[in-house]
Amino acid sequence: MHPGLRDSCCFWVWGLFLWFSVGSAGDTPPTEQPKCTDFQNANPFRGTNLKVQFLLFTPSDPRCGNLVEESSDLQNSGFNVTLGTKLIIHGFRALGTKPSWIEKLIGALLRAADANVIAVDWVYGSTGAYFSAVENVVKLGLKISSFLSKLLVLGVSESSIHIIGVSLGAHVGGMVGHFYKGQLGWITGLDPAGPEYTRASLEERLDAGDALFVEAIHTDTDNLGIRIPVGHVDYFVNGGQDQPGCPTFIHAGLVEQGGVKIEPLPKEVKVYLLTTSRAPYCAHHTLVEFNLQEPRNKDTHIVVTFFSSNATSSGKITIPKQKLQGRGVLAHPTPQCQIHQVNLKLQASRQFWSKDRTIIVGKFCTAPLPVNDNKMTVCVPEPVNLQASVTVSRDLKMTCV
């Protein structure tokens, strides 16, 4: 959670899961099963003393958190040293409550990968005043580093450890990675916190030197998320600011590595992508292009709207003055081959004394991204005449591959 009284709009609250063990019939006494442990709840008015819990979740029991403190706890709770380990670190908890998104994130990770998932519960140290929570970052980093050392003793490799830090937790993950001299396998920062960290040193915040691969996903840089790149690759979803389908005062963002294979790894590369406004928010990115027959003495703005059987999406093409070509990217929830119609509208100039009667002529083309070859490019066969503020519709005929 970002600093403030806010949770992610893209996660739903799950009910608390109560786990009971049932003994076998007959004279055999029931076998004692480990009890599930939930996150702590802290009173924000009682200070921010650091009380850390490490809760293990495994593929065999994804909803039951096993409290693990010693190596024996790990061995008795189904921890598998041959699997990768994902460590989730939440951020600032203003009211001292359990993160509402944590259970769904744990479930998503266990469905996506056969791995050990360990949630770091530091609610007690993250509640109250934000600046008090910031003061606990180094202490928490040391505690997590000490815990990871127990995993290494069991035979876990540093490169198999993946830290996922949310908001302030992203910088905690960076601190842990710094203690391990950048040899941990992977750190993902989800909306790394901005306050107190935008101008912090590399030792104090998440940066590309904290793991073999560091990525960050930014969705709230205009409010409480950090605005600068902090990893090898930084994803700025929808520009990194207000997200479609989410109120402007709420943040979200969550993706897997997605097959990034770059050697040598770059530093501070910005990647931009779009989402749709409804769950599951995934989108097909489509390149749209308009070529004028004649250049103009002013910028030309064309609104493009795609229609499929159950969805509509819009974007804009801008053609700079004295240029013939303009391009844009649209996010659509269905593949391009399901789009059957496109609407084009030339935006009118602001003229208070008369109506803009501008007419332009050009060629419209579109192609799914990434554009690997020209065979996927589809163009409207005849030139398109656009008059300011008048919508023109054209059918699109594309085949699915």
Specify the 3-state DSSP secondary structure of 388.
Answer: strand
- H or E element at residue 387: strand 384-387
State the DSSP string of 290-322. Answer: EEESS--SS-EEEEEEEE-SS-EEEEEEEE-TT
Note whether 46 and 288 are within 8 A (CB): no
Note whether 201 and 157 are within 8 A (CB): no
Contacts of 26 (CB under 8 A, 6+ apart): none
The residues pairing with 288 across neighbouring beta strands, listed in sequence order, are 328, 366
What does the pLDDT read at residue 15?
Answer: 24
Note whether 88 and 117 are within 8 A (CB): yes
Specify the 3-state DSSP secondary structure of 270.
Answer: strand
The closest of 250, 257, 251 to 235, measured between CA atoms, is 257
CA angle 276, 162, 137 (to 5 degrees): 95
Note whether 340 and 334 are within 8 A (CB): no
Largest CA distance in the chain: 95
pTM of the model: 0.67
- CA torsion sign for 13, 162, 144, 228 is negative
Domains, in order of start, for the chain: 53-273 (3.40.50.1820), 284-395 (2.60.60.20)
What does the pLDDT read at residue 334?
Answer: 84
Name the token pair of 109: 């990770």
pLDDT in tens, the chain (401 residues): 333 323 333 322 222 221 122 233 334 444 445 589 999 988 877 666 889 999 999 888 888 999 998 888 888 888 999 999 999 999 999 888 999 999 999 999 999 989 999 999 999 999 888 888 999 999 999 999 999 999 999 999 999 999 999 999 999 999 999 999 999 999 999 999 999 998 999 999 999 999 999 999 999 888 889 999 999 999 999 888 877 776 654 333 723 334 445 556 666 677 777 787 777 778 888 889 999 999 999 999 999 999 998 888 888 999 999 999 999 888 888 888 889 999 999 999 876 667 888 999 999 999 887 776 667 788 999 999 999 999 999 998 877 66
What does the pLDDT read at residue 373?
Answer: 62
What single DSSP character describes residue 284?
A: E
Report how far residue 64's alpha carbon sits from residue 58's, in angstroms, rounded to the nearest whole number: 8
Burial class (CB in 10 A: 0-12, 13-18, 19+), 270: exposed
**CA end-to-end span of the chain:** 41
Name the token pair of 307: 């229609």
The closest of 196, 259, 258, 206 to 232, measured between CA atoms, is 206
